[in-house]
C-alpha cells in the first residue's frame, strides 16, 4: 500500500472516510487500478521506487468541497496535490510531485462562468478544457478566441498555473501573464480572491489585474500556496483577416538579422508568433538525410559547419524558414505584408512567400486546411506525432522537456547550439541538438532553446542515464546564464537550485512564506522546489522524512 510521507495507515483510512462523506464515496479513489490512472504517463522514473505514484485521488465538484478536503487534510496532515485536468505531459502529467501525495483532481469543476466578447475576457473553473471553451465560443457565435497551447485537451487554468505558452500575440501567449483575477482555497481552507476580486461585488475581476496593494497572484503558479478554483483571462478578439507568410534565408548567419527584424515586428504588434525552424531538419518524425547526418559528426565527432552549409546551398535547401502570421482587416494585413517584405530585402537571398490567407469566419474545410490552427486559437491534438508517434525517436514512450530561456538573439542561439553539442560530445552521446536546431519563440521577449529527452517504460537504465544528462544540461545552461522556465517534478529541485542569487534568497523567502501560510505543509510539497519545513532537510531525497 502506498501511503503519503509521514502518514500512518490509520490516519490515511480515517481521512479517506471523511473525504467520502464530504464529496461522495464515488469521487474518492483508493483502489490501485483507479489511482494508477494518475501516474505520469511520461515519467522519467517509471516503475522505479521513487516514481511519484499517488496514494489516493479525490475529485470535488464545488469550492465548498475543495474547502472541506483541505480542512480534513489539515486534521490528518495529508499532503494534497491539485491538478486541473492533469494533462501536463512532459512536465509531470497528473501525478503529484512526491510519491504518496493525494491528488485533488478538479476536472469536475468545469463551469464556464462568463465569456464577454465586447470587453474580451472570460472567467473559468479549473476543469474547463481548451476544447470546451472553444466549442462554447463557437456555439454562441462569440467574437473572441483564447490563446492555446499545442495540445487542446488541457485547461486554461492548469496551463497558466504551470507558466504555459501559446501561439498568437505575445501578450496573450504568456498564459499566466494573460490571466486576470483568481479565487483560491488557501492551505487552511479559507477562500481568497485576488486583484479586483478582493472587492466584494467587483465588476472588473477579469479586466484589471492589480486591484489595490501587493500583487500576490504569482504565489499560486509553479508553487504550493493554495488550490485555485476560478481564474479570469484576457481574450483576443477574432481578427477579420489572417495571412501566413513564409520567410526563407540561405545562410546560417542570416539568423542574426532575421531575429533582430522579427523582434522589431513582433514588439510593434505587426506580426504574431514567428515559428522558427530549419528545412534541413527532416519532416516530423522522419529520418534525416544520411549525407547531411554524416556531417554532424565528421569533424572529430563534432559537426562540420562548412560542409553543412555547402550541403544546403548545393541542394538549394534554405538554412532557415520562419512562418509569420499577420492579423487584422484585409487592407491592414496586406499593408503589413509589404512592410515585412521591405524589412527583409536587406538579407541577401531571403525570400518571402504567402502560404495561406483566410477571411474570418472560416469554413470547416478552411479550418482543416489551416497550417497552424493554434495561431487562430483552434484547439487540436495534431502535436501528438511528437515523441510517442514519430518514426525515428527511440524510446517512444514519452519525453521530458529541458526548457531553458535564452536571449532573443541569433548569436546567442548559435552559441547555445555549440554549448549543447559540446555537452553531448563530452558525455559520449549523439547530440539531439544540431547546428540547425531552432529556437522556440513562445516566450514573449525571450527564446526557449528546449529539447525533449525521450524516456522509456521498460528500460530503467536508459531513464537513469537520461536523468544524469538532463541534470548536467541544467548546470551547464545555468553556468551560461540560461535558466529553465518549467520542469518535470523529478528535476524541479535541480532547476530551483540554479536560481541561487545571494545564497538562494529567493527560495528562502518563498519557504519562509510557506511556513507561515501552510504550517502543516499540506499543499503540493516540493512543487517548484518549495518544501515545507518538516521535510526541508531531505529535499535531496525527494522530500522523504
Ligand atoms: C506534445 C506536447 C506538446 C505540448 N505543447 C505545449 C505548448 O504548446 N504549450 C504549453 O504551455 N504546454 C505544452 N505542453 C505541456 C502540457 O501538455 C500543457 O501545458 C497542458 O495544457 C498542461 O495540462 P493542464 O492544462 O491539464 O494542466 P494541469 O496538469 O492540470 O496543471 C499543471 C500543473 O499546475 C498545477 N495546478 C493545476 N491546477 C491547479 C489548481 N487549480 N490549483 C493549484 N495548482 C494547480 C499542478 O501542479 C499541475 O501539475 C505540451 C505537451 C506535449 C506532450
List the 351-359 sheet strands across, edge first: 275-277, 320-328, 241-249, 351-359
In angstroms, rounded to a whole number, what is the distance separating the alpha carbons of residues 349 and 334? 22
Instruction: Output the pLDDT for position 543.
Output: 66
Kindly state if the Cβ of 398 falls inside 6 Å of ligand 1: no
Per the CB < 8 A criterion, the answer to whether 538 and 493 are in contact is: no
From ligand 1's centre to the CA of 253, what distance in Å?
Answer: 35
Give the whole-angstrom CA distance, residue 456 versus residue 118.
48
Ligand 1 centroid – CA 85 distance (Å): 8
Residue of minimum CA distance from atom 49 in ligand 1: 83
Q: Say yes or no: CB of residue 187 within 6 Å of ligand 1.
A: no
CA distance 324 to 287: 26
Q: Is the CB of 150 under 6 A from ligand 1?
A: yes
Give the integer Cα–Cα distance in Å for 191 and 185.
Answer: 5
**545, 534 Cβ separation under 8 angstroms:** yes
> Does the CA dihedral 483-485-487-493 come out positive or negative?
positive
Question: Do residues 330 and 241 touch, judged by C-beta distance below 8 A?
Answer: yes
102-105 β-sheet, strand order? 28-29, 57-58, 102-105, 80-83
C-alpha of residue 380 to centroid of ligand 1, in Å: 15
Q: Could you tell me the distance, in angstroms and rounded to a whole number, from the CA of residue 257 to the centre of ligand 1?
A: 34
Ligand 1 midpoint to CA 55 (Å): 21
Surface-to-core class of residue 160, CB atoms within 10 Å of its CB (0-12 exposed, 13-18 middle, 19+ buried): buried
pLDDT at 544: 64
Q: Which of 326, 229, 331 is nearest to 268 (CA)?
A: 326
Pocket perturbation via mutation, ligand 1, pick of 40, 66, 86, 88 by most ligand atoms within 8 A of CB? 88
**pLDDT value, residue 261:** 98
Q: Please state, in angstroms and as integers, the Cα–Cα distance from residue 117 to each residue in 132, 220, 241, 362, following that order.
A: 16, 27, 18, 18
Residue 281 pLDDT: 94
Give burial (CB, 10 Å; 0-12/13-18/19+) of 486.
Answer: buried
- The atom of ligand 1 lying closest to the CA of 159 is 25
- What confidence tens digit (pLDDT) does each residue in 353-393 have? 999 999 999 999 999 999 999 999 999 998 887 767 666 66
For residue 387, which phi and psi values (nearest 5 degrees)? 60, -55
Q: Are 367 and 260 in contact (CB under 8 A)?
A: no
Q: Taking the chain (545 residues) in consecutive chunks of 10 residues, what is each chunk's mean pLDDT?
A: 94 97 98 97 95 97 98 98 97 96 98 98 98 98 97 97 96 97 98 98 97 97 98 98 98 98 97 97 87 97 97 98 98 98 96 97 96 96 76 76 97 97 92 95 94 91 94 97 97 97 98 97 97 88 67
Beta strand 57-58 pairing with 28-29: antiparallel
**The pLDDT of residue 284:** 76
d(CA 245, CA 326): 8
User: Does 89 contact ligand 1 (Cβ within 6 A)?
Assistant: yes
Q: Are 71 and 15 in contact (CB under 8 A)?
A: no
DSSP β-ladder status, 227-234 and 320-328:
unpaired
Q: Whose CA is nearest to atom 32 of ligand 1?
A: 158
Of 154, 178, 185, 378, best ligand 1 pocket probe by most atoms within 8 Å of the beta carbon: 154
Please enumerate, as own/partner, the contacts of 377-381 that have beta carbons within 8 Å and a separation of 24 or more: 377/134, 377/145, 377/146, 377/147, 377/148, 377/168, 377/236, 378/134, 378/148, 379/129, 379/130, 379/131, 379/134, 379/148, 379/152, 379/153, 380/152, 381/151, 381/152, 381/153
Q: 327 near 241, Cβ under 8 Å?
A: yes
235-267 residue pLDDT tens: 999 999 999 999 999 999 999 999 999 999 999
Instruction: Note the pLDDT of residue 440.
Output: 95
Q: Can you give the pTM of this predicted structure?
A: 0.97
The three cell numbers locating residue 216: 500576490
Strand partners, 83: 105
The set of residues, in sequence order, having a beta carbon less than 8 Å from that of 515 and lying 6+ positions away, is 532, 533
Which residues face 105 on adjacent strands? 83
Find the helix or strand (DSSP H, E) in which 494 lies. helix 489-498
Whose CA is closest to atom 52 on ligand 1? 89
Q: Which residues lie across from 107 on neighbouring strands?
A: none
Closest CA to 78 of 87, 86, 68: 68
The closest alpha carbon to 516, from 96, 194, 219, belongs to 219
Distance 337 CA to ligand 1 centre (A): 34
Tell me the β-bridge partners of 144.
237
306 CA distance to ligand 1 middle (Å): 41
Whole-number pLDDT of residue 392? 64
> Residue 458: what pLDDT?
92
> Residue 444 has what pLDDT?
87
Separation of CA 165 and ligand 1 centre (Å) = 10
Amino acid at each position: 500500500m502506498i501511503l503519503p510521507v509521514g502518514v500512518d495507515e490509520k490516519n490515511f483510512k480515517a481521512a479517506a472516510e471523511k473525504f467520502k462523506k464530504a464529496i461522495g464515496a464515488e469521487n474518492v479513489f483508493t483502489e490501485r487500478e483507479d489511482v494508477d490512472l494518475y501516474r505520469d504517463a511520461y515519467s522519467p522514473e517509471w516503475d522505479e521506487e521513487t516514481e511519484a505514484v499517488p496514494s489516493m485521488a479525490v475529485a470535488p465538484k464545488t469550492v465548498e468541497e475543495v474547502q472541506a478536503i483541505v480542512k480534513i487534510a489539515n486534521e490528518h496532515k495529508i499532503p494534497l496535490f491539485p491538478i486541473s485536468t492533469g494533462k501536463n505531459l512532459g512536465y509531470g502529467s497528473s501525478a503529484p510531485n512526491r510519491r504518496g501525495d493525494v491528488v485533488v483532481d478538479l476536472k469536475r469543476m468545469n463551469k464556464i462562468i462568463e465569456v464577454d466578447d465586447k470587453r474580451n475576457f472570460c472567467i473559468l473553473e479549473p476543469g474547463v478544457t481548451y476544447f470546451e471553451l472553444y466549442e462554447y465560443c463557437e456555439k454562441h457565435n462569440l467574437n473572441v478566441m483564447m490563446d492555446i497551447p499545442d495540445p487542446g485537451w488541457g485547461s486554461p487554468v492548469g496551463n497558466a498555473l504551470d507558466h504555459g505558452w501559446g501561439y498568437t500575440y505575445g501578450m496573450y501567449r504568456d498564459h499566466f501573464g494573460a490571466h486576470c483575477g483568481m479565487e483560491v482555497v488557501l492551505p487552511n481552507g479559507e477562500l481568497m480572491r485576488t486583484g479586483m476580486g478582493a472587492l466584494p461585488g467587483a465588476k472588473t475581476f477579469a479586466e484589471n489585474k492589480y486591484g489595490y496593494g501587493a500583487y500576490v497572484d504569482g504565489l499560486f503558479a509553479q508553487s504550493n500556496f493554495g488550490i485555485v478554483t476560478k481564474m479570469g483571462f484576457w481574450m483576443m478578439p477574432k481578427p477579420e483577416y489572417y495571412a501566413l507568410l513564409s520567410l526563407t534565408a540561405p545562410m546560417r548567419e542570416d539568423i542574426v538579422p532575421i531575429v533582430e527584424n522579427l523582434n522589431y515586428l513582433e514588439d510593434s504588434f505587426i506580426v504574431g508568433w514567428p515559428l522558427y525552424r530549419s528545412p534541413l531538419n527532416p519532416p516530423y518524425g522522419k529520418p534525416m538525410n544520411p549525407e547531411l547526418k554524416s556531417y554532424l559528426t565528421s569533424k572529430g565527432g563534432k559537426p562540420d559547419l562548412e560542409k553543412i552549409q555547402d550541403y544546403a546551398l548545393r541542394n538549394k535547401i534554405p538554412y532557415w524558414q520562419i512562418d509569420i502570421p499577420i492579423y487584422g482587416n484585409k487592407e491592414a494585413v496586406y499593408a503589413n505584408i509589404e512592410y515585412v517584405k521591405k524589412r527583409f530585402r536587406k538579407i541577401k537571398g531571403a525570400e518571402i512567400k504567402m502560404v495561406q490567407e483566410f477571411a474570418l469566419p472560416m469554413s470547416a474545410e478552411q479550418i482543416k486546411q489551416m497550417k497552424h490552427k493554434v495561431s487562430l486559437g483552434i484547439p487540436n491534438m495534431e502535436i501528438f506525432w511528437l515523441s510517442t508517434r514519430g518514426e525515428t525517436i527511440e524510446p517512444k514512450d514519452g519525453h521530458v522537456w529541458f526548457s531553458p530561456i535564452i536571449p532573443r538573439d541569433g548569436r546567442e542561439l548559435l552559441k547555445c547550439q555549440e554549448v549543447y553539442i559540446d555537452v553531448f560530445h563530452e558525455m559520449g552521446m549523439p547530440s539531439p541538438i544540431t547546428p540547425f536546431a531552432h529556437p522556440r519563440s513562445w516566450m514573449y521577449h525571450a527564446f526557449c532553446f528546449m529539447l525533449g529527452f525521450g524516456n522509456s517504460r521498460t528500460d530503467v537504465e536508459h531513464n537513469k542515464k537520461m536523468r544524469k544528462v538532463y541534470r548536467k544540461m541544467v548546470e551547464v545552461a545555468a553556468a551560461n546564464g540560461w535558466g529553465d522556465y518549467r520542469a518535470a517534478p523529478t528535476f524541479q529541485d535541480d532547476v530551483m537550485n540554479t536560481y541561487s542569487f545571494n545564497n538562494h534568497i529567493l527560495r528562502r523567502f518563498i519557504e519562509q512564506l510557506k511556513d507561515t501560510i501552510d504550517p502543516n505543509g499540506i499543499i503540493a510539497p516540493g512543487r517548484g522546489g518549495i518544501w515545507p519545513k518538516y521535510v526541508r532537510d531531505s529535499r535531496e531525497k525527494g522530500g522523504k522524512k
